[in-house]
Structure 1
Amino acid sequence: MSHTSPATYLVWSIISCILLAFLVFHMWSFDRFKCLRWNNGSSGAFKRVMTYSYLLSVPLIMTYALGFTVIKYQQGFIPFEGQIIPMPQAMWPESARRAAFPLMLAFTVGWSMEMITHLEELCFWLFLVNAGSVQQDWFRSWYFRTWILGSIVAVTYMPLLTILTRGDPLKCEAYTFLGGSLGSMSLTLWFTPILWAFPAFLSSLKSEGVDTATIVRLTKFHELNMIRIVFRFVFVVPFVILGADGVRVHSHINESMLWTDFLTMIAAFGCCISSALTLVIFFPRSVEGEIAPKTPRASVSDSALLVRRAAATPRLADKRPLQLPARGQHLRPADRARVQGGVGWVRSGKVDTEVDALPRMPIAPMRPNRRRGADVEMGGIEGRSQTSLGRQPSGKLNPMVHNFTSPIDLYGN
């Protein structure tokens, strides 16, 4: 990107700032930043690592973009062989050249953190699709060990590649882009078979009797992953082209401002959109769950209002017991007026008891056990989920499927 115009870095800066603003808004709406606390009771070491590694990559990339935007606009353009080109990095003043390497290193570290995130998703979805009921623990699987080993490699080779080639700024940039893009490209290509196999996996979930809510969540994540994979290709393919052209003796694409600007701007959109989708998948919001805690408080306040209104209603002079109608009959007009007033009298043994005639919630009907072929469908209360009261899973699926919420929210560890 040393050959690109200042407008290219400006595009990167604008999009990365929008990504950071979306991140802040989403995390606030998710749980008011509670998931970012180190001592959050529901977060274990694995979730902390995944949360902080992903969230660290966004400000690092934004710092890289903003820093080079300032430098590029300060240096401007120069005439060269009848053309107007951005000032080469070799002609920058000493202060700008000293700032270039830390900014490039920040971009490298942020990219390696993003590779940790993508590798975890790849290993997790492979585990979820292929693991049966015998292999129930993600943290003891080979997929988890592969993620640990790959993460160590990612956080090692990316910064090391930038440090070893820092003597030549152009080669440093070219090898950094080529090494990072090849690593991200391999992870993206490995993810495509999962997208191909996931519809069959969802069909197996339906046949196994998994509840509808879980299937809906997995279907939504599958659609988000398909969109995100497209934008990850948009992100890495331009950097593969620029990096491969930069390490060659005679560069052709990097010497054209049109192609360098076009490829880097396209990569900016792919990087930030895929990162935003990763945030939605890692921290999925549930609007129903966010609204549900407010509903009980509203119902209690409504009930209290009815009680106060009933207390303010004048009592009837007589204390005749409220005559409850027999089956199939209706309340008498006088008793109906007393019920609408909020106060009633019922006879309990020999004592008349005053009660508030508030409306009662209907009781859900009970469902008996039924035999369906070789299986027995368990009964229960109507309206409950099929997993808890319906047909039990046959044991061919991993139990984690039935409690799936997020690729990083695993058993709270």
Structure 2
Amino acid sequence: MIPAQLTYDITSCKFKYEEGFVSIFGHIFTKPEFMWKEETRRLIIPTDYSLCIGLSLQTGTLLLLQCFWNYLANAVAQANFMSSKEFRFYIGWTIAGIFIFPCLRYNFARDVYEHTYKEVMPQLVYGCGLLIVACLGIRSHFRFNKLIMTSKAATNQRSIAHKIRNFQDLNMILTAALFVASISMIILCADGLTPKKTLNVHKFSADFLICNVNVTSMVVWIVVVLIIHPVNNNNQNTSPQAVAPLNSNRRFNNKKKPNEFDDIDPESTIGFEEDKSLHAAHTKHYTSISMSGYTPSVSMAPSATTTLVGGHANTSHGRKESPGCETSSVS
């Protein structure tokens, strides 16, 4: 589609500037094709057909976009956006458009028509096609509203409504751009079919309409790209596929965590249990001493040694004995 359109634009622009202008009765006009060089005239036919291919592909893409709305409705809201007959009609129209534009160029290239008809008529039909697609965009807008109303019963209604409104806004921008482009194209082509060609002769009116067509066409294809390849916002991913893992992780986190000592062998904790009992005994002993009015000087050394003498446990936690004080033992 883009290579065909670029081929026509670049080649026709090259032809116009190489051939230049001609003065007729004191008025300067672009040199008509029958006054061009022979080597230039040989390239007119492939250049015109490249334009027809580009117009047919553009019209078909915009028609298939209506079928894409049906795919989105099924994927997002599990609902039908159009009937199967309408879906097939758009596909048939797209296939027919591939043959319509080359046939128009072939028919109006005959000598019974003016030399401008073979270029104007395909573009006029293209402008009418864009206008029809714009009208379909208005109907799609109301279908989106209906789809939002029918999706209120869904569990993830907020996520579905957000996605549908996003595509609805893109559809409105696309529809507005198509209206401007199609109306400007139809006005230019209709004026080109008149004998005087009033709008095409005046530079301001011709440039104004041509700029409208070019700028809005660029907007149309940017919006089409955003529709087919939407921006992936990871921070606000509320799709059904993304919500399910979050809920499952939340259920997993609510489970009771296993005890960290469950995997320890009971036989390997015998010495550990003895140290715990001796520590409790020393704590009780020091508490009784402090209640009697004497507080021993104890250093906070991290190491602790435990000895068993005659069936009694004698433990010292790095304790420094004060002068004149006996070492306490716990039986």
Same fold per superposition (TM over 0.5)? yes
Q: For the residues of structure 1 that align with 2:46 and 2:161, how far apart are their CA atoms?
A: 45
Matched, 1:87 2:3: no
Q: 1:287 to 1:102 in 2, by over 3 A?
A: farther
Q: Is the 8 A contact 2:62 2:133 kept in 1?
A: yes
Q: Percent identity?
A: 23
Q: Is the 8 A contact 1:177 1:242 kept in 2?
A: no
Q: Which amino acid aligns with 1:102?
A: P
Q: Which amino acid aligns with 2:179?
A: F
Write the mapping of 1:63-142 to structure 2, written as runs, cut at 5 A.
Answer: 63-125=7-69, 141-142=84-85
Report the equivalent of 2:181: 235
Q: Deviations over 1:189-244 (max 9, x none)?
A: 12212224423432432343344333322221111111111111222112111222
Q: 1:95 to 1:351 in 2, by over 3 A?
A: farther
- Deviation at residue 84 of structure 1 after TM alignment: 3.4
Q: 1:351 to 1:277 in 2, by over 3 A?
A: farther
- Deviation at residue 86 of structure 1 after TM alignment: 2.6
- Deviation at residue 165 of structure 1 after TM alignment: 1.5
- Deviation at residue 124 of structure 1 after TM alignment: 4.5
Write the mapping of 1:1-400 to structure 2, written as runs, cut at 5 A.
Answer: 57-125=1-69, 141-167=84-110, 168-288=114-234, 348-350=264-266
Q: 1:351 to 1:79 in 2, by over 3 A?
A: farther
Q: For the residues of structure 1 that align with 2:40 and 2:222, how far apart are their CA atoms?
A: 31
Q: Is the 8 A contact 1:198 1:222 kept in 2?
A: yes
User: Whose RCO is larger (CA < 8 A, sep 6+)?
Assistant: 1
Q: 1:347 to 1:143 in 2, by over 3 A?
A: same
Q: Is the 8 A contact 1:123 1:146 kept in 2?
A: no
Task: Give the secondary-structure state (helix, strand or coil) at the position aligned to 1:120.
Answer: helix
Task: Give the secondary-structure state (helix, strand or coil) at the position aligned to 2:187.
Answer: helix
Q: 1:65 to 1:352 in 2, by over 3 A?
A: farther
Q: Is the 8 A contact 1:224 1:277 kept in 2?
A: yes
Q: Deviations over 1:274-310 (max 9, x none)?
A: 0121112112241529x9xxxxxxxxxxxxxxxxxxx
Q: Which amino acid aligns with 1:271?
A: S
The number of equivalent residue pairs is 242
Q: 1:345 to 1:71 in 2, by over 3 A?
A: farther
Task: Give the secondary-structure state (helix, strand or coil) at the position aligned to 2:55.
Answer: helix
Q: For the residues of structure 2 that align with 1:89 and 1:277, how far apart are their CA atoms?
A: 37
**Which portions of structure 1, spanning 4 or more consecutive aligned residues, are displaced by more than 6 angstroms?**
126-130, 133-138
Q: Is the 8 A contact 1:115 1:154 kept in 2?
A: yes
Q: For the residues of structure 1 that align with 2:48 and 2:129, how far apart are their CA atoms?
A: 17
Q: Is the 8 A contact 2:5 2:54 kept in 1?
A: yes
Q: 1:269 to 1:101 in 2, by over 3 A?
A: farther
Task: Give the secondary-structure state (helix, strand or coil) at the position aligned to 1:78.
Answer: strand
Q: Which amino acid aligns with 2:204?
A: L
When normalised by structure 2's length, the TM-score is 0.63
Q: Which amino acid aligns with 2:95?
A: I
Q: Is the 8 A contact 2:4 2:50 kept in 1?
A: yes
Unaligned runs of 5+ in 2: 238-258, 270-331
- Deviation at residue 85 of structure 1 after TM alignment: 3.0
Q: Which has the larger radius of gyration?
A: 2
Q: For the residues of structure 1 that align with 2:211 and 2:100, how far apart are their CA atoms?
A: 26
Q: Which amino acid aligns with 1:69?
A: C
When normalised by structure 1's length, the TM-score is 0.52
Q: Is the 8 A contact 1:346 1:352 kept in 2?
A: no
